[in-house]
Structure 1
Amino acid sequence: MAADFDGRQLAAWWAVPFAGLLLSIATLPLLAPQFWHHHFGKVVAGWALAFLLPFAAVFGAGAAGAALLHAALAEYLPFVILLTALFCVSGGIYIRGNLHGSPALNTAVLAIGAALASVMGTTGASMLMVRPLIRANDDRRHKAHVFVFFIFIVSNAGGSLTPLGDPPLFLGFLQGVDFFWTVRHIGPETLFLVGWLLALFFALDSWYYHRREELLPMDPTPDSRGIGFDGARNFWLLLAIVGLVLLSGTWKSRIVFEIGGLEMGLPGLVRDVGLIVVTWLSLRITPARVHEANQFSWGPMQEVAKLFAGIFLTIVPVIAMLRAGLDGPFHAIVAAVTRPDGTPDPAMYFWASGVLSSFLDNAPTYLVFFNTAGGDAQHLMTTLAPTLAAISAGSVFMGANSYIGNAPNLMVKAIAEHRGVTMPGFFGYMAWSAAVLLPLFAAMTFLFFR
């Protein structure tokens, strides 16, 4: 199986397709936006073939086929199926009515979004909450900071408590991490970060709100009928998603299906088929007017699916080399996160996984360091629990450091700009994250990961 391939047989240059793909994701939307918009699928396919074809030539078509099959069936499809279900169901819920964006209201919306993020995913919560928040603040002159903090809190930190919250944690769940392990082990860290971010946001938003001429003379969105939900039946489907994921993690079955040498357990298959049914039901029961009101489009989901197809394939040799530990070509990385006595250093894991999550993508970054720490879920959840907590926190929290750290970040930016909000550029956003997030991460290191 590809996942068990001996990384000691590989040279470091086998990581070039993975690094090239992530570098393309980071830079091409900025340097060549038109080219990227029209051809990003071809770029992804090119980097995937840059790994697969040489791998087949050197190790044989059988090994290349096993790598492709494992990446597709064991990791990519369950990941994308869950993300699609959350994206579709949340897009079928429209929060109607016109709120008024006072500091208290905005802070409450961010807090609610943070709570929802661990239940319906950072993508689902972001897509559900960003549109009413835009309407609530469309009579404010200064509002970019609202959506910067929205990305910090709802699109990232809020999703740290369950595998439903953020893709890295779902990957950990697929690797054998218990569903409720994260909430037990990084719950205090989450409360610390979200609590401080909400307090800082309230202070900043209050300062803006009480400035002269902050409110426009006329609210662009007139008051309408009371606050409520259209497409509320989708809330039942959200509960079904939670139930299916919980079922797959708790149900033990001896029934397995072998596909090309890869064993697929019955609980995982039931979960994935159930999520597909949930997605179909949401599309059937959601009125067209709800999707129109939400400006629902498959474009963002299609882009994420194509990008992750390449990521999950090109990361195969990287994981194999990291699993080789000190005997592999990436021994320097393993040494950097390892203390002189050979034990893992949680603080280094927190920052190493976090820095890579800031500029690459937090899902594969989590997977890389999960395997660097040994890749044994039971050992990581018990003996090495501080290390797994550091990897989980770094991957989820620091995905907020840049627009490319987590999939919802760019989605929120695009929606806000489409609605007329002038969002900061790539480096402008990073100035915000450096000023607000990095001091909090430094404090967390001393408080939780020493």
Structure 2
Amino acid sequence: MKGSRIAAASLALACLLASASTALAAEQGLPGATMSLVWALPFAGLLLSIATGPLLYPHLWEQHYGKITAGWAALVVVPMALSFGFDISVEAVLHTLLLEYMSFIILLFALFTISGGILVAGNIQGTPLINAGLLVIGALLASVVGTTGASMIMIRPVIRANDNRPFNAHVIVFFIFLVSNIGGSLTPLGDPPLFVGFLRGVDFFWTTVHLWREALLVGGIVLAAFLAVDWHFHRRESGQPKVKDPTPHSKVRIRGLANIALLAGVIAAILMSASWKPGVAFSVYGVHVELQNLVRDAIILALAFVSLAVTRKEYRAANGFSWGPILEVAKLFAGIFVCIVPVIAILRAGLDGAFAPLVALVTGPGGKPDNLAYFWLTGVLSSFLDNAPTYLVFFELAGGDPQALMTTFATTLVAISAGAVFMGANTYIGNAPNFMVYAIARESGVRMPGFFGYMLWSSAMLIPTFLIAGFVFFA
């Protein structure tokens, strides 16, 4: 349950696929230009609580994390109502609940349910070359079914392949790097920020055409680093007593194939909501809920129930499927969605807001965009904030015109896209599947590094890679 609590936190960012077109709606009406950095403290406090709670005070956190989360959220909502009025505050909260939170719960429920019904049965020996092959397959799959779907499908086969190795945590760390993040950079379906760009007018295959070089270089360097690290540990293991394999080798088979079609249906529903604009909306306290989004959520929810009906229970049992992560994500990320409201409002104020020094860094001499700064600022913020709203902020700072960004300022858009997607791997909270993979691995007996231990890995392996990519493509 401890692991499922952490898994719950991670999956929430996947919801942004369902609400990307209105990701910043909650900040409308808030005077971001006059808000100080004090408004960002509850968000920072909540993130710090999530990072340190399971490590420093695990028993207290396990029993009261919902109350702690609600407390941080209250430190945003109550002062916001007192400072800006009841109406603006209620509208902001309802925007979050109706346009983002409900859609994310539905999409998350569907992705978790459907992907959890796809079982890659059987087992193979996790040698360095086999592990590298599994990571490549997962990374390619991520751009088709999304980083969350690919992570859920591939993580347990990777764990089984290495469950008889005394040193196996590094395999999961690199899995998060490649499958849960970098691999989702080739299509708008791969990662929420890219889908945000698609909804804003960026052509579907623009991402594939313009980001494959960056993805190939970054992914290639990280994969090479993995092979070096895995060979090192593999050689160390050869001199140690053999560990009995808890999952003996057997032929690999894919079960629950009907769920693949259901995943395709989820993707089709998302694309439908992006292209079908009937112009019908329902107003709830000033919040306009559009018909296409309601239809999308209904279809996605129906597909999830179809998966529950047609998937054999033993497949889910073999995947270690449980409802814990879904039930607990409601508490953790309800707080995150509320606490991030003033942060995004300040960022949207640009040079007029409290984050003006950061905004000024993306402007070069003569007012031209500093692409290297766009890459790093988008990436660093995406390591700790929701990467889709962060993408939108810098998308708007770069002009917000998709035609100009796809042509004249194509390098700027590539820098924003690459930073948002790649650097989600820098922390456990940087992208949807990161904590999910961490939790599943912990529950399976893998001795995973903690929050800051993981950042040591990412600092050693990813930051040098990003420095190289920044120099090659954006300097």
Q: TM-score w.r.t. structure 1 length? A: 0.90
Contact 1:86 1:121 in 2 (8 A): no
Deviation per residue, 1:224-247 (Å, 9 max, x gap): 4x3212222111101111211222
Contact 2:346 2:355 in 1 (8 A): yes
Deviation per residue, 1:15-42 (Å, 9 max, x gap): 2222222232233232222222222222
Say whether residues 1:258 and 2:283 are aligned partners.
yes
Say whether residues 1:4 and 2:28 are aligned partners.
yes
Contact 1:258 1:264 in 2 (8 A): yes
Q: Name the CA distance, whole Å, in 1 between partners of 2:27 and 2:261.
A: 37
Change (3 A) 1:35 1:380: farther
Residues 25-174 of structure 1: pairs in structure 2 closer than 5 A: 25-173=50-198
Deviation per residue, 1:178-207 (Å, 9 max, x gap): 544433332221122112222332343334
Task: Name the SS for the 1:227 alignment partner.
Answer: strand
Moved over 6 A (4+): none
Q: Name the CA distance, whole Å, in 2 between partners of 1:46 and 1:375.
A: 36
State the number of aligned residues.
Answer: 449
Q: Name the CA distance, whole Å, in 2 between partners of 1:264 and 1:377.
A: 25
**Which range moves more in the overlay, 12-21 or 374-383?**
374-383
Using the TM superposition, give the Cα deviation of residue 364 of structure 1 relative to its aligned residue in structure 2, in angstroms.
4.6
Contact 1:113 1:125 in 2 (8 A): yes
Task: Name the SS for the 1:128 alignment partner.
Answer: helix
Residues 262-411 of structure 1: pairs in structure 2 closer than 5 A: 262-373=287-398, 380-381=405-406, 383-411=408-436
Deviation per residue, 1:122-151 (Å, 9 max, x gap): 222112111111111223233222112111
Change (3 A) 1:346 1:38: farther
Q: Name the CA distance, whole Å, in 1 between partners of 2:40 and 2:429.
A: 20
Q: Which one-letter code corresponds to 1:430 in the other structure?
A: M
Change (3 A) 1:12 1:430: closer
Say whether residues 1:216 and 2:242 are aligned partners.
yes
Q: Which runs of 5+ in 2 are unaligned?
A: 1-24
**Which range moves more in the overlay, 359-368 or 427-436?**
359-368
Q: Which runs of 5+ in 1 are unaligned?
A: none
Using the TM superposition, give the Cα deviation of residue 176 of structure 1 relative to its aligned residue in structure 2, in angstroms.
5.4
Task: Name the SS for the 2:123 alignment partner.
Answer: coil
Q: Name the CA distance, whole Å, in 2 between partners of 1:164 and 1:73.
A: 23
Q: Name the CA distance, whole Å, in 2 between partners of 1:377 and 1:72.
A: 28
Using the TM superposition, give the Cα deviation of residue 299 of structure 1 relative to its aligned residue in structure 2, in angstroms.
2.0
Deviation per residue, 1:359-378 (Å, 9 max, x gap): 45534543444454455656
Contact 2:385 2:430 in 1 (8 A): yes
Using the TM superposition, give the Cα deviation of residue 44 of structure 1 relative to its aligned residue in structure 2, in angstroms.
2.1
Percent of residue pairs bearing the same amino acid type: 57
Task: Name the SS for the 1:142 alignment partner.
Answer: coil
Q: Which residue of 2 aligns with 1:418?
A: 443
Q: Name the CA distance, whole Å, in 2 between partners of 1:137 and 1:104.
A: 12
Q: Name the CA distance, whole Å, in 2 between partners of 1:299 and 1:366.
A: 30
Q: Name the CA distance, whole Å, in 2 between partners of 1:83 and 1:377.
A: 28
Structure having greater relative contact order (Cα 8 Å, sep ≥ 6): 2
Change (3 A) 1:322 1:203: closer
RMSD in angstroms over aligned alpha carbons? Answer: 2.6
Q: Name the CA distance, whole Å, in 2 between partners of 1:350 and 1:430.
A: 19
Task: Name the SS for the 2:83 alignment partner.
Answer: helix
Q: Which one-letter code corresponds to 1:220 in the other structure?
A: P
Q: Name the CA distance, whole Å, in 1 between partners of 2:398 and 2:345.
A: 13
Change (3 A) 1:378 1:68: farther
Change (3 A) 1:17 1:421: closer
Contact 1:17 1:314 in 2 (8 A): yes
Task: Name the SS for the 1:341 alignment partner.
Answer: helix
Change (3 A) 1:167 1:152: same
Using the TM superposition, give the Cα deviation of residue 263 of structure 1 relative to its aligned residue in structure 2, in angstroms.
2.9
Q: Name the CA distance, whole Å, in 2 between partners of 1:147 and 1:337.
A: 34
Contact 1:400 1:406 in 2 (8 A): yes
Using the TM superposition, give the Cα deviation of residue 105 of structure 1 relative to its aligned residue in structure 2, in angstroms.
1.7
Q: TM-score w.r.t. structure 2 length? A: 0.86
Q: Name the CA distance, whole Å, in 1 between partners of 2:42 and 2:396.
A: 19
